[in-house]
Chain A
Amino acid sequence: MNKTWLIIQREYSSRVKNKRFLILTFLMPILIVGLIAATTYFSITGVEHRSIAVIDPNDFIKNSLKNTNQINFSFPENVDTTNYQQKGFTDILILPKFDKDTKTDYILRSKKSMGLMLQESISNKINRAIEDQMLQDAGIQQNMLDSIHKASQFAELKAYEDKGSSSKESNAGLAMGIGYASGLLIYMTMFIYGAMVMRGVMEEKTNRIAEVIISSVKPFELMMGKIIGIGAVGLTQFLLWIILIISLTSAAAGFLPADVQQQVATLQQSNGQMGGGMMQASESAVKIYTIQHTMATANWPLIIGCFIFYFVGGYLFYAALFAAVGSTVNEDPQDAQSLMFPITMPLIFSYVITTMVTQNPNTPIAFWASIIPFSSPMVMMARVAYGVPNAVSYWELALSMLTLVGGFVFTTWLSGRIYRTGILLYGKKVTWKIMFKWAFKKA
């Protein structure tokens, strides 16, 4: 045990002291934030501006075609499909004379084809105008119409989870986001750290230090030391990321103007009720409050606890398999590719299931995938985000955790048997069939 501890220390410190680790740890969050900022920036500035000439024989549609920051409607004379480009328009919209009994084509001709979203918004505007016109024809007054339009935005669905006597606000969007993000994070780390374990084992084998070490410690100790050491590197990285994110967001909050901070605090005290704070609060304060309020609906201790458990469990499960593959590879890294396939397949498959489960957390496939240890680390995380015991009952969670523990005990045992033969065997091409033999032959 003492020697395993030495190996863990070496595996851990040789990686954490590495420059690459530091760069990855501190650059990654910056890179992600930068990426998000860049996409947001380009989606705002990158919109195209359209200047549309409208030929409208009906008067009533004109009022509905209001200019937006993207589209500029004009109603010029003497413009047709042959000359709209010369006159400086990007598109021409030709409306027929409205007749409520026949469906006719409304034609849009463009220099460059228009995006679907824009087309839809124009078509909505025209339909709304026609609808209004017909309602007015039926004798409804303009002020009546306005109040009808307002009423169509009255209802906003607020969902609550019932937990015995108390109920709690639930947020499916947030649950989906958390479920997806943690599933994706576990998926990526399985690959990154699993491959790291495999490369480490291959390194020891190809540079022939394995035999020197195995004359001092048991192969199983060496394998476990490597797996645990690298797992600890992964946890360290997560921890640093969490600290980094929390300090960055609180630093960002500090930059808010004092009055906005004050308003957010007032909103928190009044629990976001209308009246009081809400009325005087500025738009940005309301937004910040809403984000904080939504985040607070998630059961963070449960989610973080489950995340750590499923990360560690899933990592141990897959890392052992990766170690077994690494031990069978000779000089040629190409061999690893084909042997890795049966490990990466279930990983990818689990990821696909996870994306489905984030939307429907309670289908039979979601249940089974969250019990089977190959997929449970990802799929169960996606489900837990929806809440325990509402979406996932306690016994399901317990069963899933139990099978995962059983699963990694089994893969570690299996891999240990493959590893101790593979690590000292050179020059022989190993197949899964041979590995199976090693695993189940007598000691």
Chain B
Amino acid sequence: MDALLSLQNLKKYYATQKAVDDISFDIERGSIFGLLGPNGAGKTTLLRMITGIFYPDSGAILLEGNPFNPMLDIEKIGYMPEERGMYKKMKIGEQALYLAQLKGMSKAEATEKIKYWFKKFEMESWWHKKVEDLSKGMSQKLQFVITVLHEPKLIILDEPFSGLDPLNANLIKDEIYALAKKGSTIIFSTHRMEQVEEICDHIVLVNLGKKILDGSVAGIKQQYKENIYSIEINAGSSLTSNAIFTIIKETPSQFLIKINEGHTVNNVLQFIIEQKIELIGFNEVLPSLNDIFIKLVEGTHAGARAFQNI
């Protein structure tokens, strides 16, 4: 596997808590990677180590196979933090230019790129406006442009859709796909599971500073499936729980069943056919990431962690 970024046994302890406690994973080049976790799980600390803002207490970060050097590699990364801000009094064009130059672009190159993106996002008239004149969604768009302007190999987006209307959210989403297609790797941090399911190839779930889940979205769903199927039958027929399966939920023509231990899908189908019930539909129901997330995190007192001592 061609890993762009590889984290090895990363640790970062604060005085009052283990923010990141021995986390390792790889991120494939060109993939869209979801970093999930409840509030206070250690996501931001992890991202800050990847962006070179924090140094890990121990462990290693490899970027393209080499040890991560914040001084040089910072320009290969575009980071859009969750708490984002701008200079309120500065003109938008100048601000974008300034931040692009801080990422190591020349003035001419930056100007050209900003014009390209502003045109693409229909922001050309913004150049001489100030950030304080923008709505939250508009400044979000601006943030996104500034993050990807220098064509970073690794783009880190922390809650990129918060505050965006569906139209603009789709605009950004399409851009994320396009960037991944061009070879950028994207780390996407959120707790909005439906977005993760839709966008991400691979996810890692962290809780209480530890990695508790790592894999592809499809693979994880398979891993956590609970042998639940939905059966649609002809109206008028009926099903009852039996030795082979248990009915969890029932509507006039649709049943949600759980196959009991020791039985297979074939047993179920055989049973239905033997009962002479007309089968219209039969589908496996995989758990949503949301369900998996809640199942794994619930009961771990994740929320109370900020006030605990180790």
Q: Judge: A and B partners, yes or no.
A: yes
Chain A residues in 8 Å Cβ range of B104? 3
**Are A208 and B103 closer than 8 Å at their CB atoms?**
no
Q: In chain B, what residue has the closest Cβ to A421? A: B54
Inter-chain CB contacts under 8 Å: number:
60
What per-residue 1/0 map shows which CB atoms of B129-159 lie under 8 Å from chain A?
0000000000000010010000000000000
**Are A213 and B90 closer than 8 Å at their CB atoms?**
no
Q: Does B81 contact A (CB under 8 A)?
A: yes
- Docked CA distance A14–B87 (Å): 11
**Are A10 and B85 closer than 8 Å at their CB atoms?**
no
Which of A14, A203, A208, A214 makes the CB contact (< 8 A) with B84?
A: A208
Which of B86, B88, B90, B101 makes the CB contact (< 8 A) with A6?
A: B101
**Are B102 and A211 closer than 8 Å at their CB atoms?**
no
Which of A6, A7, A215 makes the CB contact (< 8 A) with B81?
A: A215
Q: Does A240 contact B (CB under 8 A)?
A: no
**Are A212 and B98 closer than 8 Å at their CB atoms?**
no
**Are A216 and B74 closer than 8 Å at their CB atoms?**
yes
- Docked CA distance A14–B86 (Å): 14
Q: Does B179 contact A (CB under 8 A)?
A: no
- Docked CA distance A210–B48 (Å): 13
Distance in Å: Cβ of A110 to nearest Cβ of chain B: 60
- Docked CA distance A14–B104 (Å): 21
Given contacts A215-B51, A215-B74, contact A209 B103 (CB under 8 A): no
Chain A residues in 8 Å Cβ range of B75? 216
- Docked CA distance A3–B70 (Å): 14
Given contacts A14-B90, A211-B53, A443-B55, contact A216 B99 (CB under 8 A): yes
- Docked CA distance A212–B80 (Å): 7
Chain B residues in 8 Å Cβ range of A121? none
How many chain-A residues does the 8 Å CB contact rule pick out? Answer: 22
Which of A203, A204, A424 makes the CB contact (< 8 A) with B53?
A: A424
Which of A207, A215, A424 makes the CB contact (< 8 A) with B86?
A: A207
Q: In chain A, what residue has the closest Cβ to B78? A: A215
Distance in Å: Cβ of A204 to nearest Cβ of chain B: 8
Determine the main DSSP class of A at the interface with B. Answer: helix
Chain B residues in 8 Å Cβ range of A203? 87
**Are B90 and A212 closer than 8 Å at their CB atoms?**
no
What per-residue 1/0 map shows which CB atoms of B65-95 lie under 8 Å from chain A?
0000010001101011101111111100000
Q: How large is the interface on B (under 10, 10 to 19, 20 to 34, 35 or more residues)?
A: 20 to 34
Distance in Å: Cβ of A46 to nearest Cβ of chain B: 45
**Are A217 and B83 closer than 8 Å at their CB atoms?**
no
**Are B83 and A10 closer than 8 Å at their CB atoms?**
no
Q: In chain B, what residue has the closest Cβ to A13? A: B94
Which of B52, B87, B98, B143 makes the CB contact (< 8 A) with A215?
A: B52
Chain A residues in 8 Å Cβ range of B86? 207, 209
Chain B residues in 8 Å Cβ range of A443? 55
Q: In chain A, what residue has the closest Cβ to B90? A: A14
Which of B83, B89, B102 makes the CB contact (< 8 A) with A208?
A: B83
Chain B residues in 8 Å Cβ range of A214? 53
**Are A211 and B77 closer than 8 Å at their CB atoms?**
no
What per-residue 1/0 map shows which CB atoms of A1-28 lie under 8 Å from chain B?
0010011001000100000000000000
Q: In chain B, what residue has the closest Cβ to A208? A: B85
**Are B85 and A209 closer than 8 Å at their CB atoms?**
yes
- Docked CA distance A50–B86 (Å): 67
**Are A213 and B102 closer than 8 Å at their CB atoms?**
yes
**Are A216 and B85 closer than 8 Å at their CB atoms?**
no
Chain A residues in 8 Å Cβ range of B85? 204, 207-212
**Are A212 and B99 closer than 8 Å at their CB atoms?**
yes
- Docked CA distance A216–B53 (Å): 9
